[in-house]
Amino acid sequence: MKHGKVIFLVMAFIAVAGFTFAQAADPYKVYNQYRAMAKAGKYTGTPLQGKTVGFANIYGTLPFCISVENNIKDQLKLAGVDLTKGWISMDNQYNSVLGLKNADIMLSKKPNFFVEFQFDSKVNNIVAAKFGAAKIPLLAIDVPIPGSSFMGVDNWKVSLMGGHEMSKQIKAKFGGWSGVDMVVLGQFPAGGDVLMLRSEGFAQALSEDFGVETTDPKIVRFDGGAGQSEQAKAAMDDVLAAHPDAVTIAVTSVNEQTMAGIIASLQGAGRWDTKNVVVITLGMDELGQSMIRDGQSDGGVAFFPEHYGEYVVPAIIATLQGQPIPPYLYVENVIINKSNIDKYYPLKK
């Protein structure tokens, strides 16, 4: 009897040790399992049945944001959420005051989980404190929230990718650094330091490729706003007025909406000529795709917003099951241009 008990205890110890080792080898095993299900489009069981998920979009009418929200909803349905009862959706409309008001309304509804897509880093600090006190878990999209996992792009990585692509286009169109008059980086300071990396990586890539300083006077930085084309156009108008002799110009910005404003500014100033302008966009939503097909853009870094839910929903499930999730959930990225756009985004018949 004692011998059997010893064997049982030994086997139990081995099982616990094996589980502990497996957890140490992959601390996010549960999240990764659900992530694989999300990619396959089928969950085992209904892990979110009866749960309520809140979501506040950064600007609900933009193509990128529509794709993000739709994919999250699709994945939630697959995971067992009844969207008529378990889905609360709000639109922050690129407005800090409204974003904070929406967060308070969301807090009053007491969802099991809140996904916040909000542009102002200061507001996100307030949101973190309020939801932390209420013990409602959060996930941040694109702009970090203190104490919560971040889902979106590795801003430094995509910026470097875009910057190296810009270098190739500068060499192809202008012959090299000496042939470009101005490089314009449309930035978004209100998004905080993490979002600033989305443009600063361009300067670093240009520095690596051409041997120039990141502070080279040809590199002009400006606040292009949160994502509205009108604001970006007005700001770019000022940049062009301050550099009247710049003919060959390379531009990028935080998303395609601001790029539309930059292009409109160049056109309005009579300085738009695809032979003299290099355009590298970030995001590759429907607007970015049309820019490539229309010849307005030389290429862009794809963020694949139509797959965001495949990261968000597994993170929700794992968190509500008491399992850890990675602090950063980064989407995969590729450079898309005219030569490969149909591979990733074939035209609908």
- Tokens 């490539």 sit on residue: 292
Class of domain 155-302: alpha beta
pLDDT digits (tens, 9 = 90+) for 159-217: 999 999 999 999 999 999 999 999 999 998 887 888 899 999 999 999 999 999 999 99
Give the residue-averaged pLDDT of 221-226.
Answer: 89
Domain boundaries, the chain: 28-153+306-331, 155-302
Q: How far apart are the first and last CA of the chain?
A: 74
Q: Are 71 and 307 in contact (CB under 8 A)?
A: yes
Both structure tokens of 238: 């000022």
- Which strands form 328-330's sheet, in the order they lie side by side? 87-91, 53-57, 113-116, 138-141, 149-152, 328-330
Give the whole-number percent of the chain exceeding pLDDT 70. Answer: 93
Both structure tokens of 200: 């600063």
How high is the pLDDT of residue 4? Answer: 56
Please give the Cα distance from 19 to 252 (Å, whole number): 48
- Give 35's strand partners: none
Both structure tokens of 41: 């489009």
Q: How far, in Å, are 257, 281, 347 from residue 69 at the CA level?
A: 18, 21, 22
Question: Which listed CATH number (3.40.50.2300, 2.40.50.140, 3.30.420.10, 3.40.50.720) goes with 28-153+306-331?
Answer: 3.40.50.2300
Angle formed at CA 278 by CA 276 and CA 280, multiple of 5 degrees = 165
Give the residue-averaged pLDDT of 12-16.
Answer: 50
How high is the pLDDT of residue 5? Answer: 56
Both structure tokens of 262: 């930059």
Please give the Cα distance from 110 to 99 (Å, whole number): 17
Both structure tokens of 59: 């600007």
Q: 10 Å Cβ neighbour count for 306? A: 17
Both structure tokens of 286: 């429907």
How does DSSP assign 151-182, residue by residue? EE--HHHHHHHHHHHHHHHHHHHHSSGGG-SE
The one-letter code for the residue type at 259 is M
Both structure tokens of 68: 């993000």
Strands 334-336 and 182-187: unpaired
- Which strands form 277-283's sheet, in the order they lie side by side? 219-223, 182-187, 249-252, 277-283, 299-302, 334-336
Per-residue pLDDT band for 67 (boundaries 50, 70, 90) equals very high
Q: Do domains 28-153+306-331 and 155-302 have the same CATH topology?
A: yes
Please give the Cα distance from 56 to 88 (Å, whole number): 8
pTM above 0.85? yes
Q: Are 224 and 254 in contact (CB under 8 A)?
A: yes
pLDDT digits (tens, 9 = 90+) for 302-334: 999 999 999 999 999 999 999 999 999 999 999
pLDDT digits (tens, 9 = 90+) for 255-307: 999 999 999 999 999 999 999 999 999 999 999 999 999 999 999 999 999 99
Which backbone phi and psi does 139 adopt, to 5 degrees?
-135, 130
